[in-house]
């Protein structure tokens, strides 16, 4: 899939809001328009090329900020909308007036709600040289980072993720192990080999049966050789 980016200058986003509405038609949360943003909760969090790609477009650090983005046709809302287990995020492109986008795992994000600085809830302000977060969005960032810092101080070394939600490591023991049936279900849902292989590689636990009989049965159910190879490799680790 081709590399995507929000290739629109911030100044154009602001002046062209009559064409691309950036938020809900009606005020929310007691009459005040709101948008959604997040800070990254761990170093090395990947931002993928698309909602199903395994190619990493950008690697984020703990404390980095992103805004949620959901797009349908020409309508854009700055909120998080999960697809294929990922959410689309946008962030200022370094030394540019443009914004970039990527897809992230929601578990890598501590989300917050921010007030809209304008009628379209755009999270950035622009100049002729570069874009940056606007004051309303920065206020949300600061509150989320303070929450992260407070949670880290109050939590024991093995504590959960900021915001009170369990971390990936603490919740992994409760997650069901990946099985052959789960592989078949993903294949039959036509998720694509890349995503199925990524799930095999990233699953916290596995209970895969890679015996000759099981592999023959999986092949008969439409599982590709690439997926079978990934299962054998994971089961052998």
Residue 1 lies in a domain: no
Do 18 and 118 sit in the same domain of this protein? yes
Same domain for 145 and 209, yes or no, is no
Does residue 174 form part of some domain?
Answer: no
Same domain for 47 and 146, yes or no, is yes
- Residue at a domain's end among 105, 134, 164: 164
Domain assignment present for 171: no
State CA 220 to chain mean position distance: 34
pLDDT band per the 50, 70, 90 thresholds, residue 175? low
Instruction: Assess whether 78 and 112 both reside in one domain.
Output: yes
**Whether residue 42 has pLDDT greater than 80:** yes
Q: Are residues 14 and 43 in the same domain?
A: yes
pLDDT at 85 over 80: yes
Is the Cα dihedral 158, 156, 40, 117 positive or negative?
positive
Residue 178 in tokens: 């990946």
For residues 156-163, give the mean pLDDT: 46
Q: Please say if the pLDDT value at position 126 is more than 80.
A: no
Q: How confident is the model at residue 27 (pLDDT cuts 50, 70, 90)?
A: very low
Q: How many CB atoms lie within 10 A of CB 143?
A: 14
Rounded Cα distance, 209 and 78, in Å: 43
120 and 191 assigned to the same domain: no
Q: Do 37 and 83 share a domain, yes or no?
A: yes
Phi, psi of 207 (to 5 degrees): -135, 55
Cα dist from 159 to 112, 176, 202, whole Å: 21, 21, 21
11 vs 72 pLDDT, higher one: 72
| 2, pLDDT greater than 50 | no
- Are residues 124 and 41 part of one domain? yes
> Residue 203: is its pLDDT beyond 90?
no
Is residue 127 assigned to a domain? yes
Residues 45 and 73 in one domain: yes
pLDDT at 98: 84
Mean pLDDT, to the nearest integer, of 156-181? 56
In the numeric block, the tokens 């303070």 are attached to: 146
pLDDT for 23 equals: 36
| DSSP result, 140-176 | HHHHHHHHHHHHHHHS-TT---GGGPPPHHHHHTTSP
Q: What is the DSSP secondary-structure string of 41-71? A: -STTEEEESSSS---EEEEE-TT-EEEE-EE
Q: What is the pTM of this model?
A: 0.54
Q: Is residue 170 part of a domain?
A: no
Domains identified in the chain, total number: 2
Distance CA 87, CA 55 (A): 15
Q: Which residues of 50-86 are buried (b: 16+ CB within 10 A; e: fewer)?
A: bebbbeebbebebbbbbbbbbeeeeebbbbbeeeeeb
Q: Which one of 118, 133, 164 terminates a domain?
A: 164
Which one has a higher pLDDT value, 48 or 8? Answer: 48
Q: Residue 50: what are its φ and ψ, rounded to 5°?
A: -150, 180
DSSP-derived letter for residue 73 is T
- Is 5 within the bounds of a domain? no
Tell me the mean pLDDT in the region 93-97. 80
Answer whether residue 217 shows pLDDT above 50. Answer: yes
What is the structure's pLDDT at 171?
Answer: 45
Average pLDDT, the chain: 78
Is pLDDT at 105 greater than 80 in this prediction? yes
Range of the domain at 33: 10-164
């Amino acid at each position: 899939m081709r590399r995507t980016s929000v290739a629109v200058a911030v100044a154009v986003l602001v002046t062209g809001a009559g064409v691309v509405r950036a938020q809900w038609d009606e005020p929310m949360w007691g009459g005040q328009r709101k948008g959604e943003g997040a800070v990254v909760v761990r170093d090395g969090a990947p931002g993928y090329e698309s909602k199903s790609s395994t190619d990493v477009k950008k690697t984020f650090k703990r404390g980095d900020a992103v805004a949620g983005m959901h797009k349908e046709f020409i309508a854009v809302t700055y909120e998080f909308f999960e697809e294929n287990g990922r959410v689309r995020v946008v962030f200022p492109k370094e030394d540019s007036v443009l914004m970039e986008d990527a897809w992230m795992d929601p578990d890598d994000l501590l989300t917050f709600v921010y007030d809209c600085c304008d009628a379209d809830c755009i999270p950035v302000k622009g100049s002729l040289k570069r874009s940056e977060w606007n004051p309303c969005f920065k206020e949300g960032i600061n509150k989320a980072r303070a929450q992260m810092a407070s949670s880290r101080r109050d939590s024991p070394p093995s504590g959960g993720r900021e915001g009170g939600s369990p971390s990936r490591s603490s919740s992994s023991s409760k997650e069901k192990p990946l099985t052959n049936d789960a592989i078949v279900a993903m294949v039959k849902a036509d998720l694509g080999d890349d995503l199925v292989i990524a799930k095999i590689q990233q699953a916290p636990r596995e209970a895969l049966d890679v015996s000759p009989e099981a592999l023959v049965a999986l092949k008969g159910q439409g599982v590709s050789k690439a997926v079978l190879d990934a299962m054998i490799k994971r089961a052998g680790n």
